[in-house]
């Protein structure tokens, strides 16, 4: 958290693209690979994620609701700070 406050919070990357970890106070995660392709939807996400802190991974599933063929994949970026 101290490194984020001192450095990342001052960048677009830190303000716009980091996930707030829901189960560890102050931790941030940067989604790389497939995780960087999801758009944000706080009202109707169709992709959910689970943070595996033991492996420092974000795991994605389409668990909120059914996803139609051709539908955009959307995710909520986590709780507000």
- Segment 1-20 shows an average pLDDT of 61
Note the pLDDT of residue 28. 73
What's the Cα-to-Cα distance from 30 to each of 18, 33, 67, 68, 71, rounded to whole Å? 5, 10, 24, 27, 24
3-state secondary structure of 2: helix
Note the pLDDT of residue 15. 55
pTM: 0.60
Q: What is the pLDDT of residues 26-76, one digit of tens each?
A: 677 777 778 878 888 888 889 988 878 788 788 888 877 788 999 999 988
């Amino acid at each position: 958290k101290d490194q984020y406050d001192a450095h990342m919070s001052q960048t677009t990357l830190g303000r716009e693209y980091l996930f707030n970890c829901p189960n560890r106070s102050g931790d941030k995660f940067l989604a790389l690979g497939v995780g960087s392709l999801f758009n944000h939807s706080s009202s109707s996400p169709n992709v959910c994620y689970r943070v595996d802190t033991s492996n420092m991974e974000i795991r994605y599933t389409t668990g909120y609701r059914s996803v139609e063929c051709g539908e955009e994949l959307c995710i909520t970026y986590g709780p507000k700070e």
